[in-house]
Every structure is written in C-alpha cells, then in structure tokens.
C-alpha cells in the first residue's frame, strides 16, 4: 500500500499504544505523517489500531505486541526489527498503570510488583534497548510519561506515586547521561486524564472508575498527544524538559473542584 508517511520524519516508538494517551498519540502522529512502531500487550487491539491508522491516514505502522516487563522478549523483538525500522528517532515511554488504591499497610504485593515492574523497569528496558542507537547517531528524543503523582504524593497512592517519582529521577538521570550525545529527554506529567487508567486501577469496577471523573472536565488523551506533538516538533536546539499539565478544575493531586 502507498503510505503518506514522510520518510524525512523520525520513526516514533510508542509503548502502551492500545489505549488512552498512547493510542491518542499514535493517531495524532499518524495524521502528521510519522512512521510508527506501536506496542502493547493486547495483540488484537494493537492490530486493529494499525489497520485503522493505515486505512484512515495511510500511515506506515509496525506493531509489536509485547509486555514491557519482559526484557528478553523485548530484546528479541527489537533485534528482529527489519532494517528500515531500526533507526528509531523518538521513543515515547508511555506504558504504565496504577493498580489499587490502598494504604501501604494493606497493599497487595502483586499490585506493587506490577506497578514497579511496568512503570520503572519498563522504561529502563525500553531505554536500554533504544538509547544506544540514538547515542551512536547523536540524535534522538525520549519522552517519559510521568504524572502529577511524580511531583506530589497522595494518601493510598504511595507506591504508584513512588514509581512516578522514579520516572522523574530517571528522566533527570537520562538527560544527564545523554546530553553529550545530543539526545533530548523530556517528560510530560499529567493530572487526571480520562482513559482506561481508573478502570485498570480499580480492576474493572466501572462505577468506581467513573466516579474519578465526576463533576469536572478531566483532560482527554488528545490533550496530552497535542503536547507530545508540540515537544517533538521544536527545533533541534530546543528541548522542552518537563510539562505539568492539569485539568483547569484540578489545583493539585488532591484538590479537584467538582460541581455537584
């Protein structure tokens, strides 16, 4: 199929493209002619997204259904990338989740492991695989999706907040390590965005998830995609290091003005 992808634009790899911010970013960037490598665990959802992007926007997509926690499968998949997909210019480390909302004394070890392994090790795994190519080419851009939870801590959210504080530290550390090579590192840190995030956090409890967004207008995933697009389209000498983006009705992690 003839694609409309612009070969002069960098290849963008988005983790967690099957839903929410990752999916919205894939659509936004496909519209603008970027070639996309899209990942996520849900293979069928990922396939449907690539078919949609290819048919609607004539996008050039490569799907890798994979779990960011599984380094050896990730490595194997990236080692096998066709030559024309190997020079990844932009990595969007987006895959992540909150599991549960509990005080530490009642927390579930499974939830903790899932958050720590996905939100922290997932970013490390992806960056370890992709950054060396950027460093060798002396060009590249990594965008980590942090959170207001990486800047504040809220009750019952200690472990999720700790993982997002770790994303903050990793972003700063990567920037220090990569600066001699001209590789940009940015973070985008949203407040409440209406995605599958709360449904996942509350393990499929739709009613509880809906309550999170009751009485105010939350951010939409497209709002974050728009910011990501802005960040990656700055001139070579400009790096937007960090963006904290909140709904107008949200003053902090815990203060949301709800109309009830």
Collapsed DSSP state (helix, strand, coil) of residue 93:
strand
> Residue 39: beta bridge partners?
64
Residue 21: count of CB within 10 angstroms of its CB? 29
Please provide the DSSP assignment of 96-125 as one string.
Answer: --------GGG--HHHHHHHIIIIIIHHHH
CA 73 to CA 66: how far, in whole Å? 7
The only residue of 26, 46, 63, 148 in contact with ligand 8X3, by rule CB under 6 A = 148
Cβ proximity to ligand 8X3: between 170 and 192 the closer is 192
The only residue of 19, 127, 171, 186 in contact with ligand NDP, by rule CB under 6 A = 19
Residue 56 token pair: 């609607």
Instruction: By CB under 6 A, tell whether 24 contacts ligand 8X3.
Output: no
Q: Which stretch binds ligand NDP (CB under 6 A): 19-27, 54-62, 130-138, 249-257?
A: 19-27
| Residue in the structure block whose two tokens are 């992690």 | 253
Instruction: By CB under 6 A, tell whether 147 contacts ligand 8X3.
Output: yes
What secondary structure letter does DSSP report for 10? P
Instruction: By CB under 6 A, tell whether 145 contacts ligand NDP.
Output: yes
Instruction: By CB under 6 A, tell whether 167 contacts ligand 8X3.
Output: no
Q: Which does 97 bind (CB under 5 to 8 A by kind): ligand 8X3, ligand NDP, none?
A: ligand NDP
Neighbour-count burial for 192-218, b at 16+ CB within 10 Å, e otherwise: bbbbebbbbbbeeeeeebeebbeeeeb
- Scanning residues 178 to 237, which ones bind ligand NDP (CB under 6 A)? 190, 192-193, 195-197, 200, 221
CA 165 to CA 177: how far, in whole Å? 18
Residue 223 token pair: 């709002």
Provide the minimum distance between the beta carbon of 206 and ligand 8X3 in the complex, in angstroms, as a whole number: 17
Binding mask 41-80 for ligand NDP (x = CB under 6 A): xx--x---------------------xxx-----------
Residues with active-site annotation: 160, 164
Instruction: By CB under 6 A, tell whether 18 contacts ligand 8X3.
Output: no
Instruction: By CB under 6 A, tell whether 120 contacts ligand 8X3.
Output: no
**What residues make contact with ligand 8X3 under the rule CB under 6 A?**
147-149, 157, 160, 192, 253
């Amino acid at each position: 199929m003839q694609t409309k992808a612009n070969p002069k634009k960098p290849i963008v790899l988005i983790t967690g493209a099957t839903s929410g911010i990752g999916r919205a970013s894939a659509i936004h960037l496909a519209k603008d002619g970027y070639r996309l490598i899209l990942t996520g665990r849900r293979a069928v959802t990922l396939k449907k997204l690539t078919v949609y992007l290819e048919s609607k926007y004539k996008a050039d997509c490569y799907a890798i259904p994979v779990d960011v926690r599984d380094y050896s499968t990730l490595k194997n998949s990236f080692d096998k990338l066709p030559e024309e997909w190997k020079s990844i210019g932009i990595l969007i480390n987006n895959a992540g989740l909150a599991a549960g909302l509990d005080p530490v004394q009642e927390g579930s070890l499974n939830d903790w492991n899932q958050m720590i392994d996905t939100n922290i090790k997932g970013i490390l795994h992806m960056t370890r695989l992709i950054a060396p190519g950027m460093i060798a080419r002396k060009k590249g851009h990594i965008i980590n999706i942090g959170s207001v939870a990486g800047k504040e801590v809220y009750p019952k959210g200690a472990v999720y907040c700790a993982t997002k504080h770790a994303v903050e530290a990793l972003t700063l550390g990567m920037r220090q390590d990569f600066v001699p090579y001209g590789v940009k590192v940015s973070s985008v840190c949203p407040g409440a965005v209406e995605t599958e995030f709360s449904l996942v956090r509350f393990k499929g409890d739709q009613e509880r998830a809906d309550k999170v967004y009751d009485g105010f207008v939350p951010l939409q995933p497209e709002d974050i995609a728009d910011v990501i697009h802005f960040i990656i389209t700055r001139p070579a000498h400009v790096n937007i290091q960090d963006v904290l983006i909140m709904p107008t009705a949200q003053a902090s992690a815990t203060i949301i003005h709800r109309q009830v």
